[in-house]
Amino acid sequence: MINDAGRDIPENIEGLGSLRPWRLRAPAGRAAGPIHPADRDAPPRQAKDLKDAVSRSGLENGMRISFHHHLRLGDRVMGQTLEALEAMGFRDLILCLSSVMGPAAASVHRALRAGVVRRIETTGLKSPLSGALLAGEIPEPVIFRSHGGRARALDSGSTPVQVAFIAASTADREGNLSGTEGPNRFGSLGYAMADAASAAHVIAITDHLSGDALKRTAISGRRVDQLVLLDSIGDRAGIAGGSIRISRRPIEKLIARRAVEVLLAAGAVNPGFSYQAGSGGISLLVTRFLKEHLKETGIRGGFASGGATGDLVDMLKEGLFGTLWDVQSFDDAAAVSLGENPLHREMSASRYASPDHPECVAQRLDVMILSATEIDSDFNVNSITGTDGRILGALGGAQDTAAGSKLTVVVMPSFRGRIPTVNRRIRTVCTPGHSVDILVTERGIAVNPLREDLLGKLAPAALPLLSMEQLIREVYALTGEPDLPPEGDRVAGIVEYRDGTVLDCIRI
Amino acid sequence: MRSWLYCPGNSPKMIISAPLYGADGLVLDLEDSVADDRKGEARQLVAQAFAEGIVSAESAAVRINGPDTGLWVKDLEELIPAGVRMIRVPKTEDPEGIREICAALGRIERENGIEAETVTLQCILETPLGVENAFALGGSSPRIRSYSFGAEDYCAAVGISRGRELFPLDYPRSRIASAAASFGYGACDTVWGFLDDPEGLAADARRAAQLGFEGKSLIHPDQIETVNRIFSPSGEELSKARRILDAAAVMNGGAAAAEGRMIDRPVILRAEKVLRAAGRTDLLKKKPLGQDP
């Protein structure tokens, strides 16, 4: 069946059941009712070790377990847990991840090969899992969900988690958890807050047990069933890793400066405005240049949200934004700030981006700056696969923030390594074009024809505006039209929209 | 021209991007930034960039290999037919060298049906002898349009350790700017090599502007904004120049007073120069920021 993004979606996949195709109009009703596990009225049991905790968690073969990726490249919890599960003989588990990278991705790969895991549900995955997906090593299609889509699925009960394994940088004896204290602090526990709220059983894992009450609590001990103390939850140096990179490339600086000019011309930077930028190098630069503008003009924003960085922390301190809503801290400066600054607020993935959350922050955004791997002539955005089919990125919160914000700007170079990123058809639709407003590249700016109002605002600013087709032609004149590797018939990945319908499939 | 951005001739990635950054001019380099075993490849890439219109002959020059290398003739033979019209000549020292290059250019223009003296020269003065001969070089060919100062080789030859102090270069800069003005040439200052010191770049550019240069060569896109700003007339300078010309328009020859000073011929010429520079830099036309050249 063909969905509203023009993609062919299978009606049914063995193991997953029937699929709902994405439609421009959101489906009414909910797929399932929410789970409300009972809060504990006593402190959590302190387990001897991971195996001891798992043995009392009610986990059985084939059930779903969850992890967060707040420890990023330094995560040692997922690996130790999967090793314990393998040693205990568990099979065919479903992994529900906020994302996976670095050593954690390698440990999931080992668990897949050992048969401990049969399915992965995640916002993104990195090597060696990305290679395993393309090689057909993962038994069931990987389900890609946005951060908001994952939180919605957890909250609604459509993806029930039996055990949530939640790494925290500190815990007290009542089981209250935080990511802002302890030797391996990482900041916000936002993604795990959604897991803790819905999982049938929560195992908290830390390497720092505080004798005193925590300065601040992210997850209440009433939602924690067992506590495991490890020697170390992570590698300090890797915790600030991942996709965070402030670009020094001239082309990327040019794009970022243009993006700020676009925001100004569009009239989006006003007192009280709300703002979020993705974790790509250009997006982070946009924030830096926007900061310069706000300081020069004295404009004060309302809130910034999403992944928190040192730059956003500085802007909060300088009063350039009134509040910083933090679902994930990208660096140590953000982790420290979250622990100290009351205006720096921790938010759950549900509050951040779930379409069903009544106070969804993404829905209140004025400006969203997105990175992408590809974009097509209908402004559909690919953020998972490259033009050549390799898996490069993740869904992250792109769908959620694009749908929620009043102005969504994609920033990207028009080609990378001689491969065009602006194409007539993209490999994988990850964010539908109807929620994307403007593309800013080094060779010109394209405005979605659906946003005639923006065209009217940008034209007088004499920005280098092009139609998407003009831009594609200009890029192909330099690079040639890409001769794409063919897709196969086997569905190895499913890209869900935030409402749970299917936007696209990754075929191998 | 306020800013001339150098771009290695053997880097297709940089050549494709270079026109996007907003420099007034580009210098595609075949000389120092290209290794000896890459010279032929660079020559082909630069020729292709001009032939396919990736760079414009009106705003892009090519720095050819030096007169002592034996490579420059082949550079010209391949580049001029591809559309190159501005040549930057390194290590210019004497009129004889210029005449030799001009003879080759004349032959290439004839052979390719190009109008005589279409190709112009920007002479780089980067040796003590070249600096001393700045006046002797002037007028040696009608093709010469500007002098460009090359401080690195000059400092090495004189024994100056180029640092962040500005005064050691005052003499060569003054001599070059003065000679350029004598012949109606443009004067382009040397590059600033300390990429991690933008304040130093600004100070260096201001010094060059005070000594009479109209622009500066650059080695990184990050330097463009600073240099364009420093070599552009300020709003106050523009207003003053307009007021002077307005006052001059109503006076009947001789001298008048405005702006608290006497308005005579040199003052009028200076005001006209400021407005011309503003026109060249699009300040008067209000060209949009970020507009592709």
pLDDT value, residue A242: 44
pLDDT value, residue B79: 97
Q: Are A398 and A431 in contact (CB under 8 A)?
A: yes
Comparing B271 with B93, which gets the higher pLDDT? B93
The DSSP code for B48 is H
Q: Indicate if the pLDDT at residue B143 is higher than 80.
A: yes
Chain B residues 191-230 with CB within 8 Å of chain A: 220-222
Q: Indicate if the pLDDT at residue A357 is higher than 80.
A: yes
Phi/psi for A444 (5° steps) reads 155, 175
CA angle A498, A504, A506 (to 5 degrees): 120
Beta bridge partners of A446: A439
User: With contacts defined as CB-CB under 8 Å, which chain B residues touch A444?
Assistant: 292
Q: What is the three-class DSSP state of B8?
A: strand
Q: Indicate if the pLDDT at residue A37 is higher than 80.
A: no
User: pTM (2 decimals)?
Assistant: 0.88
- Report the residue of chain A nearest B223, measured CA to CA: A250
Region B43-67 average pLDDT: 96
Q: Indicate if the pLDDT at residue A35 is higher than 70.
A: no
Instruction: Say which of A253, A443, A464 has its CB closest to residue B291.
Output: A464
Give tens-digit pLDDT for B152-170.
Answer: 999 999 999 888 888 999 9
Instruction: Say which of B17, B221, B289 has its CB closest to residue A261.
Output: B289
Give the pLDDT band (50/70/90) at residue B271: confident
Measured between CB atoms, does B48 come within 8 Å of chain A? no
pLDDT value, residue A28: 61
CA–CA distance, B128 with B93 (Å, rounded to integer): 9
- Does residue A500 come out as left (phi exceeding 0), alpha (psi in the -120 to 50 range) or beta? left
Give the pLDDT band (50/70/90) at residue B253: low
pLDDT value, residue A43: 85
Name the amino acid, one letter, at B201. Answer: L
Question: Which residues, other chains included, contact B38 with Cβ-Cβ below 8 Å and sequence gap of 6+?
Answer: B10
Tokens at residue A159, please? 């993806």
Partner-chain contact B288 A462, CB within 8 Å: yes
Instruction: Say which of B16, B20, B291 has its CB closest to residue A462.
Output: B291
- Report the residue of chain B nearest A417, measured CA to CA: B13
Q: What is the mean pLDDT of chain A?
A: 94
The DSSP code for A500 is S
Name the amino acid, one letter, at B127. Answer: T
Region B57-74 average pLDDT: 95
Q: Indicate if the pLDDT at residue B2 is higher than 90.
A: yes
Best A252, A285, A414, A442 residue to mutate vs chain B (most B CBs within 10 Å): A442
Give tens-digit pLDDT for A203-235.
Answer: 999 999 999 999 999 999 999 999 999 999 998
Partner-chain contact B21 A261, CB within 8 Å: no
User: With contacts defined as CB-CB under 8 Å, which chain B residues touch A257?
Assistant: 290
Q: Long-range pairs for A261-264 at CB < 8 Å and ≥24 separation? A: A261/A461, A261/A463, A261/B289, A261/B290, A262/A409, A262/A438, A262/A440, A262/A445, A262/A458, A262/A463, A263/A290, A263/A367, A263/A407, A263/A409, A264/A293, A264/A461
Tokens at residue A132, please? 């395993």
Region A34-51 average pLDDT: 83
Q: Indicate if the pLDDT at residue A237 is higher than 90.
A: no
Total length of chain B: 293
